[in-house]
């Protein structure tokens, strides 16, 4: 132990600073890849439940551990995915240029000698680059694997009897901390639980928009708004509580949610405020219909806003779980009273979006703060 401490102490400040910068850069690159992957997944129907499950699992890990950085799960895996994607793009860039040259040559004079030479060179480039990329990924997909092909090692690997078992072990190790199926199931159940809470108020608000008489329309809208306000005060915390326990009955444990609130009222208010505040600007992106080809680009903003909100909710739940006694009544009532204008403003702006969104009243079903982070698909 003392030898290890002496070894750390002997490291120069410059090396420690360089190591810290390298770790920060690696984590930022991994987080950027994570956000892009979640945005891409959230575009695909059914599969987008995986993105919700990932966010719920991140919130649950913060709730269990009590620290925000526990919610950034799988950064090393996403760093590797980003590295692979980056170098695949860089290595295929010359191949794509050769392909463009060959097409130009065919357009100028089809079947010419230059076009045939470019076609042969293109086929050779595809095979060479493809071999290099596949071997680099099989070796681990780190940046230095893409810079040096290691042909001798590739030959030894080809004649090895354990080559396929090594691939299987590498895949299992890579996805070991990211159980895809479990996250998808978690997202599906989290979606269903939130949908149960949001169904009645959302349907009332939609129905109110179709009532011609302004008096009944206002009363139905008011009732739907009140029920929606009650729902948004509970759903984020019930979802995180469900993600922690994996019991679907947690979505109906209102008493337990209130007990959690009493032990950390100010933290719960802050989490509610952040969740609703970060959700509001995203409704502006629904004014115009986004083409399907670039639907994942706005989802980058949705994920960037929703991810930290989920982490703050997990932090609030963790503070409550670590306490046994209720906070004093002053803090509880301050949090309750302060939540009223926050929830009221959110409900009003959500109600208003039905007159601004491309989908009209049906946009009220796009509760991206609690459902999948893909409101542009109507979920």
pLDDT of residue 269: 94
Q: What is the spatial distance between Cα 45 and Cα 250, in angstroms, rounded to a whole number?
A: 26
Q: What is the spatial distance between Cα 121 and Cα 127, in angstroms, rounded to a whole number?
A: 10
Give 379's contacts (C-beta < 8 A, 6+ positions apart): 45, 48, 365, 366, 371, 372
pLDDT of residue 376: 46
- Which DSSP string do the residues of 45-98 spell out, in sequence order? TTTTHHHHHHHHHHHHHHHHH--GGGG-TTHHHHHHHHHHHHHHHHHHHHHHHH
Taking the CA of residue 342 as centre, how many other CA atoms within 13 Å lie in the half-sphere pointing to its CB?
21
Q: Mean pLDDT of residues grouped by 10 in the chain (379 residues)?
A: 49 76 86 88 85 93 90 86 90 90 82 82 89 82 81 70 64 68 92 91 85 83 90 93 92 89 92 90 68 66 89 93 85 91 90 74 77 57
pLDDT of residue 374: 61
- Output DSSP code: residue 331: H
pLDDT of residue 379: 42
Cβ proximity of 33 and 79 under 8 Å: yes
DSSP helix, strand, coil percent of the chain (3-state; round to 5): 80, 0, 20
Q: What is the spatial distance between Cα 191 and Cα 122, in angstroms, rounded to a whole number?
A: 48
Distance of CA 303 to the CA centre of its chain: 5
- Output DSSP code: residue 291: P
CA separation, residue 209 to residues 95, 214, 225, 354 (Å): 55, 10, 13, 9
Angle (CA) 83-79-301 rounded to 5° is 105
Question: Nearest 5°: phi and psi at 74?
Answer: 70, 25
Q: What string of H, E and C letters represents the secondary structure of 117-170? A: HHHHHHHHHHHHHHHHHHHHHHHCCCHHHHHCCCHHHHHHHHCCCCHHHHHHHH
Q: Name the nearest CA neighbour of 44 among 334, 299, 356, 333.
A: 299
User: Which residue is listed with tokens 């950064």?
Assistant: 75
Q: What is the spatial distance between Cα 368 and Cα 310, in angstroms, rounded to a whole number?
A: 12
pLDDT of residue 377: 45
Domain ranges of the chain: 76-174, 179-377
């Amino acid at each position: 132990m003392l030898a290890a401490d002496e070894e750390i102490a002997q490291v120069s400040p410059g090396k420690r600073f360089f190591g810290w910068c390298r770790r920060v850069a690696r984590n930022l690159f991994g987080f950027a890849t994570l956000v892009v992957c979640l945005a891409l997944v959230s575009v695909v129907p059914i599969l987008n439940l995986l993105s919700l499950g990932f966010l719920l699992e991140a919130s649950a890990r913060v709730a269990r551990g009590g620290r925000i950085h526990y919610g950034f799960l799988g950064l090393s895996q996403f760093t590797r995915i980003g590295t692979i994607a980056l170098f695949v793009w860089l290595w295929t860039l010359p191949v794509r240029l050769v392909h463009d040259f060959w097409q130009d040559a065919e357009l100028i004079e089809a079947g010419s000698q230059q076009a045939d030479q470019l076609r042969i060179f293109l086929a050779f480039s595809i095979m060479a680059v493809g071999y290099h990329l596949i071997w680099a990924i099989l070796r681990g997909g780190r940046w230095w694997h893409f810079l040096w092909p290691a042909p001798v090692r590739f030959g030894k690997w080809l004649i090895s009897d354990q080559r396929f078992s090594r691939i299987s072990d590498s895949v299992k190790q890579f996805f070991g901390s990211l159980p895809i199926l479990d996250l998808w199931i978690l997202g599906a159940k989290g979606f269903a639980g939130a949908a149960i809470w949001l169904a009645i108020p959302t349907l009332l608000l939609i129905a109110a928009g179709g009532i011609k008489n302004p008096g009944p329309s206002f009363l139905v809208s008011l009732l739907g708004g009140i029920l929606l306000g009650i729902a948004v005060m509970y759903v984020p915390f019930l979802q995180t509580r469900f993600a922690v326990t994996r019991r679907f009955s947690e979505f109906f444990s209102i008493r337990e949610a209130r007990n959690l609130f009493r032990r950390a009222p100010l933290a719960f208010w802050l989490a509610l405020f952040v969740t609703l505040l970060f959700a509001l600007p995203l409704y502006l992106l629904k004014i115009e219909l986004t083409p399907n080809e670039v639907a994942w680009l706005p989802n980058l903003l949705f994920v960037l806003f929703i991810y930290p909100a989920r982490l703050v909710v997990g932090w609030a739940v963790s503070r409550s779980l670590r306490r046994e006694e209720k906070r004093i009544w002053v803090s509880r009532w301050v949090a309750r009273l302060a939540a009223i204008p926050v929830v009221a403003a959110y409900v009003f702006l959500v109600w208003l979006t039905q007159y601004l969104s491309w989908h009209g009243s049906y946009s009220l079903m796009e509760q991206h703060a609690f459902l999948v982070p893909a409101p542009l698909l109507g979920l």
